[in-house]
Structure 1
Amino acid sequence: MSATFANPGTKVISPIQLAHVVLKTQPSNFKKMVDFYKTFLSATISHENEFISFLRYDDEHHRIAIVAMPDLGPRDPKASGLLHVAFTFSTLTDLALAYLQRKAHGIEPYWSVNHGMTTSMYYHDPDGNDLETQVDNMSTDEANKYMMTESFAENPIGVDFMPEDLIKRLESGESDASIKKRPESGPRGVPTFL
């Protein structure tokens, strides 16, 4: 039975996509944050004034907005809240090239890990917010099945790698499928830097 206004049901309708993320920052850090995201995402400004910037990197009018808000203190990394926002790339080569391009701007990941479902690199923005760049290693169906395995239950975090090693493997002609396969490493809990 379809939901109606008279009988909407109890299961909430899911959204069709995640539209954008809005970050608040101290006025003194506004320009640094905008410049970071312009570089990090190769984004352009849709609109900007002295306190807000709307940034886009695809066909959406904005994917990131940054708002300078008075009376904010620095972000407390020990407080509850959002851990990170993730951005997906099409291929391992794109992920690795974006890594090198960011590195040329002084932006380097603090953690690189093969989660099994994704190969990922994690970064900090100037306010200390965390960002993940990733490539899907499996189809959604495969990932759902993988997350139900004993191997994933033993290690739901993944296996670390060095970005330069990823580049060497790609340059050597090793297949993406081989690189994406997560090595077995035994049990692992939450890293201390998360």
Structure 2
Amino acid sequence: MTVDFEAPARRVIPPTKLAHVVLRTNNFAKMVEFYKDFLGADVIYESDFLAFLTYDEEHHRVAIAAVPGTKGKDKMTCGLEHLAFAFSTIADLLLAYRQRKQKGILPLWPVNHGPTTSIYYKDPDGNMIETQADNFDNPDDATKFMKSKFFSENPVGTDFDPEDHIKRLSNGEHESDLKKRVEIGPRGLPDFF
């Protein structure tokens, strides 16, 4: 196949995937241990100042770098708001929640956004991490919901109790019931943003 590098472009060719993220820290050992536990990840390489971790077939998904002079996070500055990791099912999302809880990693915010059911956490540096499961079987249905009056009224979502969801699943309730967002009307961002 010949590529025409000189052809005018209406838009840039999109990447095939998001490969990895790199986190800068002044808390190296705690961050590496946290992400190993949080993601069930393996360390592929680690030195005094750099670690590469993976949880799938990719050689690394998260890298952590101890950079001299790095200051603590200031939540009032511009920057990346959070990382998000997806699970195939609500049951897997909740199982990971329980396994993290056993390791002392507690959630910050469980919320059904509508398109996803999500549980947020903070790492030792204060970076937010979202874990999520899709609520719709295909992206077109999620997009339709995001264009609905319900999403327009409340693009943030409705809080839920993961323990209640676990109880409901354990009692035989179907995941499709848990995926339906309870509509609560207008809502702004929580205080921790």
Same fold (TM over 0.5): yes
SS in 1 for 2:101: helix
SS in 1 for 2:181: coil
Runs of 5+ consecutive residues of structure 1 not aligned to the other structure: none
Q: Which amino acid aligns with 1:117?
A: P
Query: Aligned residue for 2:75?
Result: 77
Count residues in correspondence.
Answer: 191
Query: Aligned residue for 1:66?
Result: 64
Q: Could you tell me the percent identity over the aligned residues?
A: 56
Query: Aligned residue for 1:89?
Result: 87
Q: Which amino acid aligns with 1:16?
A: T
Query: Aligned residue for 2:17?
Result: 17
How far is the alpha carbon of 1:6 from its aligned partner?
1.8
How far, CA to CA, are the matches of 1:192 and 1:32 in structure 2? 26
Task: State whether residues 3 and 9 of structure 1, in contact with CA within 8 Å, keep that contact through their aligned partners in structure 2.
Answer: no
Q: Which amino acid aligns with 1:191?
A: P
How far is the alpha carbon of 1:3 from its aligned partner?
6.9
Task: State whether residues 112 and 121 of structure 1, in contact with CA within 8 Å, keep that contact through their aligned partners in structure 2.
Answer: yes
How far, CA to CA, are the matches of 2:18 and 2:76 in structure 1? 26
Q: Which amino acid aligns with 2:17?
A: Q
Q: Give the 5 Å matches for 1:28-39.
A: 29-39=27-37
How far is the alpha carbon of 1:10 from its aligned partner?
3.7
How far is the alpha carbon of 1:9 from its aligned partner?
1.6
How far, CA to CA, are the matches of 1:10 and 1:167 in structure 2? 47
SS in 1 for 2:165: helix
How far, CA to CA, are the matches of 1:49 and 1:146 in structure 2? 46
Does 1:126 find its partner at 2:118? no
Instruction: Report the RMSD for the aligned CA atoms in angstroms.
Output: 1.2
SS in 1 for 2:91: helix
Q: TM-score if structure 2 supplies the norm length?
A: 0.96
How far is the alpha carbon of 1:56 from its aligned partner?
0.4
How far, CA to CA, are the matches of 1:152 and 1:42 in structure 2? 33
Does 1:191 find its partner at 2:190? yes
How far, CA to CA, are the matches of 2:8 and 2:71 in structure 1? 42
How far is the alpha carbon of 1:8 from its aligned partner?
3.9
How far, CA to CA, are the matches of 2:157 and 2:8 in structure 1? 41
SS in 2 for 1:73: coil
Deviations 1:15-49 (A, max 9, x none): 000000000001xx101000000000000011111
Does 1:153 find its partner at 2:152? yes
Please identify, of 33-42 and 162-171, the stretch whose mean Cα deviation from structure 2 is larger. 162-171
